[in-house]
Amino acid sequence: MIELADVFRRFAADDLSAHGASMPPSHRRAIEDILNCRTAALGGQVWRCEACNREVFSFPSCGNRSCPKCHTPSPGLPTSRKRLAGTLASLAQTQEWLERRQAAMLPVPYFHITVPAELRAVLRAHQRAGYGVLMQASAEAIIELARDPRYVGGTVAVLAVLHTWTQQLNCHPHVHCLVSGGGISEDGSTWHPARRTFLLPIKALATLVRGKFRALLRQKCPDLVIPDAIWHKRWVLHVSARGNGEQAVLDYLARYVFRVALTNARIVGLDDNGVTIQYTDRKTGQRRTCRLSGEAFRRRFLQHVLPRGFHTVRYFGRWHPAQRHNAARIRQMLQLQAPPKADVVQDDLAGRPLVPSGVEPVPPIEPRICPHCQGRLIFIRLLTPLRAMAP
């Protein structure tokens, strides 16, 4: 399989020499991490098989959120002890995060809203401020419109996830929102359920998102000049039902949160002239290929590497951290109103692993199996980073 690291090994040196001085630190770091991921550059471990006496080398992952190898943990040998501890800690944090999200879920229907942004060039040039404004404007518009008694009549819970890419790696910033199908009254005493297949009017929501985005962008970037004609262009939103409770959020997280711009499996061709990637045509549903020069591929991929520390998952409304003290009371209120069957379903889900279907299970620490003869592996020694022995 061709990997993203193979593409960077072939084209990154020329790109760095030509554009390295003007390249953002996050882009340079992403290239370096992807090149070093699971190689001797990061150190590793040496293991020996008890049966066939062969030595097996294991190298750590880089941990960069843009690296497709680190997108999901893959079964295999352990890394160096320090890296292994960090990897397991990261996986434990992911599991803990999923458990917190499950605990925050309310036994109500959920809706999925996709909010696009038409100011792509502007957002690409002002990632930290622009993308943050897009997420905030989307959530605030949903919450404000949902408070209207004609629709929900209460404050909903919103989980917003930022994506910036299409399958051909073009810049297409948009926000996926998971929204509770109902909201709590201002005094916190009454739950107002949404209609079963309707949450909010799309056209009204699109207009409100656009207006809030414009106002917030002016506050964050007052010197930014944008033609007025852009603000009269219609924004197209999508709203669809997602299901109920815990299963809704697990399906949602598997599909939207645990995702990177490009996986290694989609790279189907590589030569001295360019890269070929595979994508699915949204209109026909058929798989197609797109060929890019090395420079064009590098430019398209790196525009989706976000500034360090930028949070692509944020919480608003009743899921905002300031509202957590009300979550248990609201959940208890809804459980009292729910039929007895809801408790049975909740008990069945309680013992189920919280790793979504799109994420591979955490590999066991012991025992380690030899890839050659299936014998048991014994740890021999650590390999020092940058000076490690190659297999």
Pairing of strands 191-193, 157-165: unpaired
How would residue 340 be classed by pLDDT, with cut points 50, 70 and 90? low
- What pLDDT does residue 71 have? 65
For residue range 248-274, list pLDDT tens digits in order: 776 777 677 778 899 999 999 999 989
Q: Do 57 and 114 lie in a common domain?
A: no
How would residue 82 be classed by pLDDT, with cut points 50, 70 and 90? very low
Whether 90 maps to a domain, the answer reads: yes
- Residue 168 in this model has a pLDDT that exceeds 90: yes
Whether 158 maps to a domain, the answer reads: yes
- What pLDDT does residue 97 have? 66
Average pLDDT over all residues of the chain: 80
The C-alpha angle 364, 365, 367, rounded to 5 degrees, equals 90
Whether 301 maps to a domain, the answer reads: no
Residue type, position 265, single letter: A
For residue range 300-309, list pLDDT tens digits in order: 999 999 998 8
Q: Do 178 and 320 lie in a common domain?
A: yes
Q: Which residue range forms the structural domain that includes residue 215? A: 108-261+306-337
Structure tokens at 107: 């036994």
Q: Do 113 and 91 lie in a common domain?
A: no
Q: Do 166 and 312 lie in a common domain?
A: yes
Structure tokens at 367: 């025992």
- Rounded-to-integer distance, Cα 118 and Cα 87, Å: 38
Whether 350 maps to a domain, the answer reads: no
- Distance (Å) of CA 73 to CA 38, 68, 101, 102, 258: 12, 10, 20, 21, 11
Whether 70 maps to a domain, the answer reads: yes
| Contact in structure between 340 and 68 (CB atoms under 8 Å) | no
Q: Do 48 and 160 lie in a common domain?
A: no
Phi, psi of 101, rounded to the nearest 5 degrees: -65, -40
Whether 155 maps to a domain, the answer reads: yes
Q: Do 184 and 208 lie in a common domain?
A: yes
Q: Do 86 and 225 lie in a common domain?
A: no
Q: Do 113 and 239 lie in a common domain?
A: yes
Q: What is the pTM of this model?
A: 0.79
Q: Could you tell me what percent of the chain has a pLDDT over 90?
A: 33
Q: Do 140 and 86 lie in a common domain?
A: no
- Residue 12 in this model has a pLDDT that exceeds 90: no
Whether 174 maps to a domain, the answer reads: yes
Q: Do 189 and 81 lie in a common domain?
A: no
Q: Which residues pair with 171 in a beta bridge?
A: 165
How would residue 235 be classed by pLDDT, with cut points 50, 70 and 90? confident
Q: How many domains in the chain? A: 2
Q: Do 43 and 151 lie in a common domain?
A: no
Q: Do 42 and 23 lie in a common domain?
A: yes
